[in-house]
Amino acid sequence: MFMFSSWVLEKLEAVKHEQNLIIEDSLRLLPDADGSVHRFANENGFTVIVASTNLVFRELFEKAILSKETEKLLIIDRAPARRRSHASLTKAPPPFYPDLLTRTSGTARIKIMLRQFLIEKTGDPNWPLESNDPRFARLISGSIEGVLKAHASLRVAHPTRFTDRDFKTIVAYSALGVPEAAFKRPEAKSYWRICLFGYPALAELDSLAPEIARSIRDEIRIAPAPFSWFADSSPDPIIRAFYLSTILAQHVDHWKLLLTSIDSDLKPFSDIDVSIIREAAPELISIDPIRANQDLQEVEASLTKEGLKLILLDQLKIFTQGRFADVIEKERYSILIRSLSLLAALDNLLSDTPQNEFLEKVNDMLFSEQQNKKELFIEQRASPVWENLKAAYRLTKIIRDIRIVLNDAIKNLKVKPTSELSFEWFRHLWNEQKVNRLEYYLSALERLVFNVDFLPRSPNDLPAAFLAASNRIRERVNWLRDDTLNSLAIINTHYQGMIAANYKSWITSGSSEIRLTSQFLRRCVKPNWDPQTEKATVFVFDGMRYDIWEELVRPIFEDRMEIIREYSASSLLPSETHISRKAIFAGTFPDSFSTRSGEDALLKEVMRSEFGYKGDVEVVAPDGMGTGETVRYRAGNIDFFIFELCDKELHKIPIKTLPDGRCVSGRPLAFIYQQHIKNIIDTEVMAIIRGLTPDTKVFVVADHGFSAIGRERIRIENTWLNDPYDCFYLNAWLKQSLSDVNAPRKIRDNVLEFPVADLRMPDSEEVYDRSTNRSWSKKFASIIFPRTGFALSRPKANFNPDAYSHGGISIQEMLVPMLVMRVKTPEEGLLVISPLTGKMDLIEGEEAEFRTAVQLTQSHKNQEVRVEAQAVYQEKEDTVSLPNQVQYISSGGGEIIYRFIPDASDASDEERKVGIMERTIKISINYREGQRMIRKARAMKFSIRLNSEKIVRRVPAHLGKILGLTPRSMK
């Protein structure tokens, strides 16, 4: 209807100087969601009133004239012409405004008539008055371009003729979607459009233009099957038979027998040549993929539980000998069939005896970048269940592969003495072998398996075998989680032994094998940055362990930066924020600085001693809200950004016991990562990265990670402590060593003890006692840490550890990222994604369209890259996901386009009050560059003008015709 709206706007532009404008739209040709007229009104100072009954008109009119903001009025009168000419006691009267008419010039009264539009567009004055008949107008307005095309064909065949039959022929063939066939014999492609897509319009034409409909049906009768069936039979069973035949013929040769066994009513429509099916299905999809998708959905919904059992279990036997792989490979149309087959594959993948040959085949089909995949219609059919199953399969496959590495490492540890273990061995296992991802992947897999749509329909409507498979999957995921956590505990037990043997030497000798957080400025920043000539930026991420860095942060950094060097790095012990993070800014160990000093003061001293910088360390306010950001500092050419991405979010998360006996975190890792941390990274962190100039040196470090707290209690005596609050779940500061206090053997066997001097921790601390109003000195002899699986219990305190914390000795807490990077020029890398474009100011109900161009950089023009696009438009914490898209980008580039109608129903009361709701559209692309997955994102803010004049019901629907409609704001 864009053409029609443009025609109306041309007329409005000519009279925009008028004080009042009246549009009579008795045929309702202006779409409800079209924002062009409202945009014209906004730009020219008009207040819009849309009404079809007098009650509504009067309420809105009175409200408008009383408002000080109203300067000019634009009335859209949508009352049907028949209601205006024939008054009725049973129908609401049309708008009545003689008072307004007296103040409105004749040129400012625009009567929208379809016949006039057609005359002006075609230059043909012979369009009949029937063009304005509501019955014909409905068909014409739904296919304007087709009508104009059919009329052009008439003029080619007959330059002057325009009979009533010609008119009806134009309307009929345009409504059927084949305007090119209006004045000649239909081709095969036209038959497809008429029979399989135009059948609703054909039924309407039986009463509106019976002679035209009759001739079309006569043509259909002499066509081959399945077209000939449409002439005299209901289209529904024919459509169902055609698409069900299309699905079955992919998998079995005896599909005709199977079709009639599934639904005996389809037997009369089973005699279709298989060659026609194979040729027709792609043709139909190319004609109208939306209608094809709807028809396939109806076919899938018609399959009963017994029908699915007959197809998938009795005939295709998808649970036997890896047959699920064949079905997934051959299925090109049915999401239902393919999803249930993937469920069977996932069930097998998690079993004790997985059929690896077939599972690898499934993995290749799901995740390989095959060129022909983009041509499959099933890849274009959106299905949350399929995406969930696919994600679960991918996670399970990755977890299985990593567990093989983990199990081999455990076997190695059993025969390897502690003296031969090194930090680099653990780091290689944890990072290079991707073991660090296991907890996150398991959490994400559990969320998928237990909390999202995992079956394509209700379990009651599926054969029992699929519900049984779903239950087995959940049981195996539970086992997989418990077994994996036990394996990680074994790794941590040996890691603690390595730390006990080596940590003191790292501190005293300045080991080249490892850099501690206290050495970050001296051993990472200083060798890689010239403070006189280079700009530098430091990102300090509090609590960011390695899986967060690898999964969420690193891809964004690598998109815009190249890695110069990545160091083996560790948190200090205890892995606490006030120790390890402050040591980053102090550049030394805690026995050499006060942990109570501000980070800016500590940084000023180390900048002077290490870099010769004599200026001040400036505290800088963030440009935006600073969400997730603790503080930022500037010292000459270097900026420091501190983000608490993870630290606060991981505290105070309780352990809860589910009805089935499972003990789980109150908030899963996957939820925290995806909903909280990822949001801050994509928004606040990205905002900083986008502002970095090329060649800026970028340094990344974390102060510590976090790990699950053990549930086995170790009781600490009050006499061992200066203060009960010196005992935490993962460490305790003792005033005497365990041997000096004669601690029980059970305690000594289940903790690791370090003299404070060995950790370079202070041996005393001055504290203030409010009860006595005096300061006193604490003396520390040693610090103890619980072994894996244990936690320390404070004297006379409730033992109820959170799910996660830090401050102990574990590979999750101590291994931290420490990197040197350089900001690339925009053209470096594989792909360039342009800024988003689209309308920034929409009208409620109007379709939004946002697009971004994606191009290969010049040095990669000869490649083809598979790109998966994701989009969300968000408000605060609520995020609405839009369907994912897959494109293959080659030398010609591509464009990611998202169209959707923003949901105005989630507008807040405040937004309704001001009449505008603001949202942010964020489009991201993921693609593989070498061995890495790269993610690039673009965001754009837009607003939706909430239409205060928009008519919505305030009464029950059955009273609407009598009482009329009123704006939501006036309820």
Average pLDDT over residues 418-432: 90
Query: Which of the residue ranges 476-480, 751-755, 942-946 would you say has the lowest mean pLDDT?
Result: 942-946
pLDDT in tens, 272-301: 888 878 877 787 777 778 888 888 999 999
State which amino acid sits at residue 677.
I
Average pLDDT over residues 709-722: 92
Band the pLDDT of 738: cuts 50, 70, 90: very high
pLDDT greater than 70 at residue 374: no
Band the pLDDT of 904: cuts 50, 70, 90: confident
Between 872 and 342, where is the model more confident?
Answer: 342
pLDDT greater than 90 at residue 434: yes
pLDDT greater than 70 at residue 968: no
Average pLDDT over residues 633-640: 92
Average pLDDT over residues 241-267: 90
Query: Which of the residue ranges 577-591, 599-613, 621-635, 908-922 would you say has the lowest mean pLDDT?
Result: 621-635
pLDDT greater than 70 at residue 491: yes
Confidence at residue 584, expressed as pLDDT on a 0 to 100 scale: 94
Confidence at residue 771, expressed as pLDDT on a 0 to 100 scale: 77
In order, the DSSP letters of 371-398 are GGGGG-GGGGS--HHHHHHHHHHHHHHH
Confidence at residue 955, expressed as pLDDT on a 0 to 100 scale: 34
pLDDT greater than 90 at residue 345: yes
Separation of alpha carbons 662 and 666, rounded Å: 12
Q: Which of 78, 193, 206 minimizes the C-alpha distance to 135?
A: 206
pLDDT greater than 60 at residue 953: no
pLDDT greater than 70 at residue 962: no
pLDDT greater than 90 at residue 389: yes
Number of alpha carbons in the 13 Å side-chain half-sphere of residue 705: 21
pTM: 0.75
| b/e per residue 262-301 (b: at least 16 CB within 10 A) | bbeebeebbebeeebbeebbeebbebbeebbbebbeebbe
Token pair, residue 587, equals 């550049």
Percent of the chain with pLDDT strictly greater than 90? 41
Band the pLDDT of 369: cuts 50, 70, 90: low
pLDDT in tens, 133-149: 888 888 888 888 889 99
CA-angle at 436, arms to 431 and 442, nearest 5° = 150
Average pLDDT over residues 337-357: 93
CB-CB contact of 705 with 711 (8 Å): no
pLDDT greater than 50 at residue 971: no
Average pLDDT over residues 248-271: 89
Find tokens 């890689």 and name the residue.
528
pLDDT greater than 80 at residue 887: yes
Confidence at residue 300, expressed as pLDDT on a 0 to 100 scale: 92
pLDDT greater than 90 at residue 213: no
pLDDT in tens, 19-36: 999 999 888 888 766 678
Query: Which of the residue ranges 476-490, 730-744, 927-941 would you say has the lowest mean pLDDT?
Result: 927-941
pLDDT greater than 70 at residue 885: yes
pLDDT greater than 90 at residue 37: no
pLDDT greater than 70 at residue 511: yes
Query: Which of the residue ranges 37-41, 873-877, 901-905 would you say has the lowest mean pLDDT?
Result: 873-877
In order, the DSSP letters of 358-371 are HHHHHHHHHHS--G
Confidence at residue 373, expressed as pLDDT on a 0 to 100 scale: 61
Percent of the chain with pLDDT strictly greater than 70? 92
pLDDT greater than 90 at residue 183: no
Separation of alpha carbons 453 and 297, rounded Å: 17
CB-CB contact of 451 with 445 (8 Å): no
Separation of alpha carbons 600 and 631, rounded Å: 10
pLDDT in tens, 567-598: 999 999 999 988 999 999 999 999 988 888 88
Confidence at residue 95, expressed as pLDDT on a 0 to 100 scale: 87
pLDDT greater than 80 at residue 608: yes
Query: Which of the residue ranges 12-21, 64-73, 130-139, 221-230 would you say has the lowest mean pLDDT?
Result: 221-230
Confidence at residue 503, expressed as pLDDT on a 0 to 100 scale: 92
Confidence at residue 947, expressed as pLDDT on a 0 to 100 scale: 62
Find tokens 């370079």 and name the residue.
760
Confidence at residue 3, expressed as pLDDT on a 0 to 100 scale: 79
Q: Which of 966, 884, 881 minimizes the C-alpha distance to 925?
A: 884
In order, the DSSP letters of 170-186 are HHHHHHTT-GGGTTS--
pLDDT in tens, 913-937: 777 888 888 888 888 876 667 778 8
Confidence at residue 426, expressed as pLDDT on a 0 to 100 scale: 94
Q: Where are the beta strands (DSSP E) in 735-826?
A: 751-755, 764-769, 774-779, 782-786, 790-793, 804-805, 818-823
Average pLDDT over residues 395-401: 94
Q: Which of 211, 132, 129, 212 minimizes the C-alpha distance to 178?
A: 212
pLDDT greater than 50 at residue 420: yes
Average pLDDT over residues 342-367: 91
Q: What mean pLDDT, rounded, does the chain reach?
A: 85
pLDDT in tens, 754-797: 999 999 999 998 888 887 788 888 999 999 999 999 999 998 88
* Distance set, CA 282 to CA 316, 483, 608 (Å): 24, 47, 71
626 Rama class: left (phi>0) / alpha (psi -120 to 50) / beta: left
